[in-house]
Amino acid sequence: MFDAGGANLTSEARRPSSKQRQIRNNILDVNRYISGEINGPAMSVECYEHYLPFAVALNVEQRWTERFNLWRESQKMNAYAPDWLITS
């Protein structure tokens, strides 16, 4: 794409803004935390539930749940039943 002066605008249009780069970096950091590559908030039921939607969106919910279950076992927590779960 060229403007009236002939400058190439295509490369400029594709370059992410600083805000977009920051969002991408934040997503990568959350993914790395959920995957256990970096430290973050201490595991708890509240932490697990807070980050679970992010884990689902990033397709790493199985790893996140495995980490939670290891923590749960270390805390000798026999069962986990979220408050929002409705059983019949």
Q: Do 3 and 9 meet the contact criterion of CB atoms below 8 Å apart? A: yes
Residue 68 has pLDDT above 60, yes or no: yes
Task: Enter the tokens of residue 1.
Answer: 């794409």
Say what the pLDDT of residue 69 is: 93
Residue with more model confidence, 42 or 83 = 42
Q: Which long-range contacts (CB under 8 A, 24 or more apart) does 21-29 make?
A: 27/58
Residue type, 60: V
Residue 7 has pLDDT above 80, yes or no: no
Residue with more model confidence, 12 or 38 = 38
Q: Average of pLDDT values for 59-75?
A: 93
